[in-house]
Amino acid sequence: MLMKKIFILLGAMLCVATVSAQSKFETTVKQIANDVANTKSWSIGVRTGTALQLEAECFYSDKAYLEAIVGVGGYLGKYPGLEGTLLHNWNCCTWDWTPNAGHWFLDAGVGLNAGGSGHHVQFGLAGQAKFGIQFKKVPIRLAVDVTPVVGPWIDYHREKATDSVTGESVVVDGKDTWHFNGLGLCGAAISATYCF
């Protein structure tokens, strides 16, 4: 009987903690959405390295911004296709090493990645470490970043082949294979964005 009461008490405490955490999460998400809606600081540009991509950044505070990356990508060049990444980044450090030119920054972030091509689908968690400079006299940000993605990719094969006996075209089902991109260190790039 005592054990049953302890389980009921623990269950009630867990429910209260869950409701409290959910309320704080909802408040934080609403605050970020309001900040993004009221922002006046954006940047758009090009990112190139292992892929050619378009990049957009929405700065909703001095220390945080959302970043969207869309373009042609692929795992180590093996599976080129459309790929997109959405990140939430934080400014970790800022330095004034070159006061006449601009300030240097180090940003880090986390997010999600998804992409695919004719016979390939990938998705996973993305991270980012970005080092660069924001110029004072021109509204340009130059940066070098690494954006690793950790998650599965799936190869699926449905190919047409010619039957050697009849000469007809037939669909050959290949074997679907799952791989796990454990390292995912293929997202190194240089980016240039225009701030407005």
The model's confidence at residue 65, banded by pLDDT at 50, 70 and 90, is: very high
Q: Is residue 157 over pLDDT 70?
A: no
- Separation CA 145–CA 163 (nearest Å): 49
Digit-coded pLDDT (tens) for 46-58? 999 877 899 999 9
pLDDT of 149: 85
- Please, which residues have CB within 8 angstroms of residue 51's CB and are 6 or more apart in sequence? 71, 72, 73, 74, 83, 187, 189
**Residue-level pLDDT at 56:** 96
Q: Where does the pLDDT of residue 179 fall: very low under 50, low under 70, confident under 90, or very high at 90 and above? A: low
* Structural tokens at position 30: 């609403």
DSSP-based three-state secondary structure for 170: strand
pLDDT for the residue 61:
87
Write the burial class of residue 140 (CB in 10 Å: 0-12 exposed, 13-18 middle, 19+ buried).
Answer: middle
- pLDDT category at 35 given cuts 50, 70, 90 is low
Q: Are strands 169-173 and 41-49 parallel, antiparallel or unpaired?
A: unpaired
Dihedral sign from CA coordinates of 99, 61, 184, 122: negative
Q: Is the model's pLDDT at 71 over the cut of 50?
A: yes
pLDDT band, residue 117 (cuts 50/70/90): confident
Beta partners for 150?
125
Percentage of the chain beyond pLDDT 90 is: 39
For residue 76, name the pLDDT band (cuts at 50, 70, 90): very low
Tell me which range, 49-53, 119-123, 159-163, is most confidently predicted by mean pLDDT: 49-53
Q: Looking at residue 193, what is its pLDDT? A: 95
On the CB side of 70, CA atoms within 13 Å amount to: 4
Average pLDDT of 46-73? 90
Average of per-residue pLDDT across 21-32? 64
pLDDT at 72: 82
